[in-house]
Amino acid sequence: MGKLGKKARKFAKKNLQSVLKQRRKTKALFKKKSPKGDQNDKKEKLVSLTEPSNERGTESRVTEHISLDAMFAENDDNVVADESDSGGYLFEGSSCSNVEENVTEKNLEETATSTYSARNQNLSTDLAILKKKLDRLKRKDPEFSKFLKNYNSSNEAFPNVDLFSDEDRSDHGELGEGGQATEKGKLLTNSIVNTWFQMIREGCSQSAFISLLNAYRTACHYGAESIGHRIDNSETFCNILVFILSNADDTFRGLLQLSSSNCTKETILELKKASKWESLKPLIKSYLRSTLFLLDQVTDRDILAFALTRFRSSLIFFVAFPSLVQRLMKVTVQLWATCGGFLSTASLLIIRDAAAMFSSISFTTCLSKSMVAFISRSRVKEITDIKHMRFLRDSIVDLCSLDVQKSSVRVAASISQLTKLMQWGLQTKTKEAVKRICSWEYVNCIDLWVRFISTYIHDYDLQSSFFMTVQLIYALALMFPGPRYFPLRLKCIEWLNCLSSSSGNFIPLASLVLDILEYKVVKENRKAQNNFNIASVLKLPKHYLKSKHFQEECVRSAIEQLSLHFAQWSCHISFPDLACIPLICMRKFIETTISESSRRLVKHLIDQVEQNVNFVQQKRDEMSFSPHDHQSVDSFLQLEKSSLNKSFTNYYKSLQEKATERRKRGQ
């Protein structure tokens, strides 16, 4: 028995985890002491084991908070600072040699402004603080106070300056007929305005033009700020806007003796040294700033269209006012991104001209602001205006043509960001990761860079971006394999087709299409009778999966993409091998499908593919060169490739025309 008891105790000690045994282990762990050297070694090992995981965790957390427009929004702070400095209006007083005098005058006059717009309330607080400091300085230094009084009295001797100065009006009001300032400004009627029109037409009167610029500024701020003159009625308001927008540019060029055809950036910079520029500079600046304010505030589409069209001819004058370029970009990009139609097109022309006309920094600013606006418009659950989003995408691609090399650097950086997000999603597979990747913001960025690469890959070295994008698209397609993500997968197939066609590289995408055809059709559900546009969604609700429209639309879109893929390689020597497996899968689909329209569509494609296979196979059998003879392989069916009357090409064109008509009916 003693021997048996010993074995039992040994078994319990080895296999049974009792409370006492755990206590003994814990006690021994805390009591055990080791040399200092051993403890240091253990700490180093522990640190070495934990550091990689911390790096991965840190990288994952950083990737999670990546914003796709962060790299393009780096210059936004500078824009805000420029606007806050001016309060919506830049100083237009006469020039002085003493810089300190100009700054002091500006502070005094700006603090006296009685009315501010709602968006400049913060500025009024800052100016009040500055005024207190200035009053304190006056009390401490009486000579400085006398100097300011003398300086203000000297300004009263120049009534023309007072007429076109934004800041001066707030102190002195507008000048009346006798040259004395009035507090409320004069009432502008049609008779007064028409008199100014006639004076400008007959003798190009500068005084009348200055008065009209004051009236124009009042009209541009009408409803937002009560400054300067008072406009009698809407007819007077329209007459002022139409006349200034129609004639201001020609008047400025006439006074400066500039031609409309040969006026360049260098001409304006050279003209700044002339004496006549000093007298006309405040007028030009007033016109530019008033028009920018009008574009930023007005909502009437007709006024916006006319102002944008006329304002484009005056862009060259912004060369003399670099501080206004940022405001120009902000206003026009906002109109380009939000208005649509003719307004977006007119705004794009201004953005493109500005990017080409000014420095390379202006091009970077235009591209950055356009990208930020494009991405912000993509932060929606469903795209309602697909046509406008495609216009924005094509506009950015066209804008990049002004400097493809600089744009390609931004494109590569953006694709790298998209890749990091994809890697984070594949590693974590969290709900947040899936939401970030399966979003219009992410998808539209890929769509944009696919169009960029496809447009410029022939003329520029974009191979690295090309291969990164192909890998990214494959990862996106395989990350969401279910039928609810068929719209997203179809977009991936379309992108791969686009890249393959533009680059001439073969991209195997038939398997992605065949996965859609292998989806088993189920009985239609009564809940899923509503039609939808498959191009406007990325993920479908579950009840749509049983919709007959969904099933037919997926098959139709898949056949269109597969036909494009076959059309690209229809004259290649390996076409029979390429079409072998897809033909097997399509025949199987015909046998299992219950949709008659889908069966006819796929059957027609099978007939065209088989006909082309037989043609290529017959030509291939007549050839005697080896597959390793790449030159002969490339020249195979060269005449047929250049021919536009190929059977398969005609089939694809007819399929494409039907798809275009169907999309127009859907819109």
* % helix, strand, coil for the chain, step of 5: 75, 0, 25
Smallest CA-to-CA distance from 589 within 515, 492, 508, 664 is with 515
What pLDDT digit, counting tens, does each position of 296-332 carry? 999 899 999 999 999 999 999 998 898 899 999 999 9
State the DSSP string of 597-649.
Answer: HHHHHHHHHHHHHHHHHHHHHHHHHH--S-TT-HHHHHTTTHHHHH-S--HHH
Helix H or strand E segment including 230: strand 230-231
222: tokens are 């009408």
- What whole-number distance in Å separates Cα of residue 349 and Cα of residue 315? 11
Give the list of residues 6+ apart from residue 475 with CB closer than 8 angstroms, or none: 422, 426
Residue 160 has a pLDDT of 39
Query: How far is C-alpha 251 from the geometric centre of its chain's CA atoms?
Result: 36
φ, ψ of residue 181 to 5 degrees: the values are -75, 140
Sign of the torsion angle spanned by Cα atoms 336, 338, 344, 347: negative
State the DSSP string of 583-610.
Answer: HHHHHHHHHH---HHHHHHHHHHHHHHH
- What whole-number distance in Å separates Cα of residue 533 and Cα of residue 554? 11
| Buried-exposed string 592-606: b where 16+ CB fall within 10 A, e elsewhere | ebeeeebbebbeebb
Query: How far is C-alpha 135 from the geometric centre of its chain's CA atoms?
Result: 47
- What whole-number distance in Å separates Cα of residue 253 and Cα of residue 651? 58
- What whole-number distance in Å separates Cα of residue 28 and Cα of residue 48? 26
585 exposed, middle or buried (CB, 10 Å; 0-12, 13-18, 19+)?
middle
618: tokens are 């017959």
- What whole-number distance in Å separates Cα of residue 284 and Cα of residue 292? 12
pLDDT under 50: residue ranges of the chain? 1-2, 19, 25-56, 58, 76-119, 153-183, 645, 667
Q: 436 has which bridge partners? A: none
Give, as one character, the DSSP assignment of residue 530: -
451: tokens are 């169009």
**Are the C-beta atoms of 453 and 465 separated by less than 8 Å?**
yes
Whole-structure pTM value: 0.74
Rounded-to-10 torsion of CA 541, 542, 548, 553: 50
Strands 230-231, 187-188: parallel, antiparallel or unpaired by DSSP? parallel
Q: Over 329-370, what HEC string results?
A: HHHHHHHHHHCCHHHHHHHHHHHHHHHHHCCHHHHHHHHHHH
Name the residue with tokens 């899968």.
Answer: 585
- What whole-number distance in Å separates Cα of residue 568 and Cα of residue 571? 8
- Helix H segments across 204-274? 206-220, 234-256, 265-271
Strands 181-182, 187-188: parallel, antiparallel or unpaired by DSSP? unpaired
Please give the span between the terminal C-alpha atoms of the chain, in angstroms, as a whole number: 94
Residues present in the chain in total: 667
Q: Report which residue type is found at 609.
A: V
- What whole-number distance in Å separates Cα of residue 489 and Cα of residue 614? 31
Residue 415 has a pLDDT of 95
Q: Quote the Cα angle for 299-303-308, to 5°.
A: 100
418: tokens are 């998209």
φ, ψ of residue 168 to 5 degrees: the values are -65, -35
Centre a 10 Å sphere on the Cβ of residue 228 and count the other Cβ atoms it contains: 22
483: tokens are 């039928």
Name the residue with tokens 């005058």.
Answer: 105
**Are the C-beta atoms of 608 and 651 separated by less than 8 Å?**
yes
Smallest CA-to-CA distance from 170 within 84, 100, 110, 248 is with 110
Residue 407 has a pLDDT of 93
302 exposed, middle or buried (CB, 10 Å; 0-12, 13-18, 19+)?
exposed
**Are the C-beta atoms of 514 and 481 separated by less than 8 Å?**
no
| CA-to-CA dists, residue 90 to 33, 162, 166, 325, angstroms | 76, 14, 8, 13
Helix H or strand E segment including 515: helix 510-517
φ, ψ of residue 231 to 5 degrees: the values are -95, 135
- What whole-number distance in Å separates Cα of residue 62 and Cα of residue 56? 10
